[in-house]
A and B are shown apart, each in its own frame.
Chain A
Amino acid sequence: MSKSAFAAAFIFATTGLAFAGPGHDDLPAEVKARHGLMANYALNLGVLGDMAKGKTDYNAEVAAVAAANLAAFAKTDQSLLWPADTDTMSIEGTRALPKIWDDRADFDAKEADMAKAAEMVAGVAGTDLAALQGAMGGVGGACSACHKLYREPK
């Protein structure tokens, strides 16, 4: 193989790799942070939801902590989490649909709804079990409202 043919093949192979995009291990920091945020939602919702279901005993102090965490996470300014070209069409390892960027105002409004619903839970989680149970539907609905439109199905 001549040097130039080798160079052409090498360039082709490496650009091919570049086009393959990052794998799960080398996701952009913003995407990792999104996944981390969702994991924190799930952890705190899990504490609350398991109490609401009766899987674990209701504990007002623990419920108050989990709900305060949930509200704090939901209230963070998430504008840095969603840079361009981090959708399902651009990279592997995300389920964030391009529609997020097409309807950004609606997406942001749904994030704000999530923050409101989490605030509601935080307001009542430490009161009693019935109050907590009553607030779970709102926060679950806020999760689903966004996942309905903006997350790719598994």
Chain B
Amino acid sequence: MLKRAITAVALGGAGVAWWVTAPTYLSHAAETALMTAEPDTVLGEQVFWAAGCASCHVAPATEESDAPILSGGQAFTSDFGTFYAPNISPSSEGIGGWTLLEFANAVQSGVSPDGAHYYPAFPYTAYAKAKPEDIAALYAFMQTLPADATASRPHEVGFPFNIRRSLGGWKFLFGTPDAPDLTASSPSIERGTYLAEALSHCTECHTERNALGGLDTSRWLGGAANPNGKGRIPNITPASLEWSEIDLMAYFTTGLTPDYDSAGGHMASVVQNLARLPETDRQAVVDYLKALPPVADSTP
């Protein structure tokens, strides 16, 4: 009797685990909105740069031209292994032949066309917040980029993180990070929130993570260890970032800091992307940063 109860509980647990780790797709409403949106390539180009797609998906040490070749290959080291950005150009090695819904589920649900979870090195938890019309426009724009036949390099990830199904558990725990509510609001702050949180995914690097790689949302943009090497990624909340609005605008436009050093590393790519956006969008990100709840520096 007891044995049967234990077996039932174990099977039930396994069933729940299997259910929890199954891929979850976009809602019917979201898919309908995608299908009825305009394939606006001009809007799509803006979304593309705001979302920073090229920064990770061009080949290593390659400039991000106006029509970049998204052949992939850049390495991203982490506590869980090394991830290689895949080919996302419109070729058979990339996203060529994907439907809009397959694309949107990849970008916003982190699920591949054949139903596998993507690793969250790909910031789909941010892109999940993007508007359907922006994703449809992005899809349309990316079809216009050059195709490249380079095969994607497999990730180098050890056990147990190499079991893709386990990522369903990760998504269940950390897949919908809650950004803080901002006390102040204005159309520009709202636009900045959308840009920073849904497209430019600032939090992926600037917020500390726990041992399982989930964001510590109580310390939103309060700075974090650098997974790719030495040093810390800075706290960009008002508790620590003392740059004026004018300094921030100049930084987002030229990459030059208030003491005339320049952006480096991945932030140099971020600035190049922001510099391609309308000035009102850069101002919106500045307004968002200034409206963030302050997070005190942690002692690492």
Interface residues of A (CB under 8 A from B): 41-43, 45-46, 49, 52-55, 103, 106, 136-137, 139-141, 143-145, 147-149, 151-154
B229 closest partner in A (C-beta)? A153
Chain B's nearest CB lies how many Å from the CB of A112?
Answer: 14
Contact with A along B219-236 (1 / 0, CB 8 A): 000000010111110000
A52 closest partner in B (C-beta)? B250
In the complex with contacts A53-B246, A152-B230, A153-B226, A144-B61 CB distance below 8 A: no
Partner of B256, one of A43, A45, A103, A148: A45
- Asked if B143 CB lies within 8 Å of chain A CBs, one says no
Q: Are A147 and B256 in contact, CB atoms less than 8 angstroms apart? A: no
A52 to B71, CA, bound (A): 38
- Asked if B82 CB lies within 8 Å of chain A CBs, one says no
Chain B's nearest CB lies how many Å from the CB of A105?
Answer: 12
Chain A's nearest CB lies how many Å from the CB of B85?
Answer: 16
A154 to B246, CA, bound (A): 24
A41 closest partner in B (C-beta)? B260
Q: Are A147 and B263 in contact, CB atoms less than 8 angstroms apart? A: yes
- Asked if B152 CB lies within 8 Å of chain A CBs, one says no
A148 closest partner in B (C-beta)? B268
Q: Are B265 and A153 in contact, CB atoms less than 8 angstroms apart? A: yes
Residues of B within 8 A of A147 (CB): 262-265, 268
A43 to B231, CA, bound (A): 25
Q: Are B255 and A143 in contact, CB atoms less than 8 angstroms apart? A: yes
18 contacts between A and B (CB under 8 A): A42-B261, A45-B260, A49-B250, A49-B260, A52-B250, A103-B61, A106-B61, A136-B254, A140-B256, A141-B254, A141-B272, A143-B255, A143-B262, A144-B255, A144-B268, A144-B271, A145-B268, A153-B228
A55 to B254, CA, bound (A): 16
- Asked if B259 CB lies within 8 Å of chain A CBs, one says yes
Which of A43, A103, A140 has the largest number of chain B CB atoms within 10 A?
A140
Q: Are A49 and B256 in contact, CB atoms less than 8 angstroms apart? A: yes
Q: Are B255 and A141 in contact, CB atoms less than 8 angstroms apart? A: yes
A42 to B261, CA, bound (A): 6
Known: A140-B255, A143-B255, A153-B226; 14 extra A-B contacts, CB below 8 A, are A42-B261, A49-B250, A49-B254, A53-B247, A103-B61, A136-B253, A139-B254, A141-B275, A143-B262, A144-B264, A148-B263, A148-B268, A148-B269, A151-B264
A38 closest partner in B (C-beta)? B261
In the complex with contacts A46-B259, A144-B272, A153-B264 CB distance below 8 A: yes
B265 closest partner in A (C-beta)? A153
A53 to B263, CA, bound (A): 17
A136 to B266, CA, bound (A): 21
A154 to B231, CA, bound (A): 5
Shortest beta-carbon contacts, A-B, top 3: A140-B254, A147-B264, A143-B262
Chain B's nearest CB lies how many Å from the CB of A33?
Answer: 18
Residues of A within 8 A of B228 (CB): 153
A110 closest partner in B (C-beta)? B63
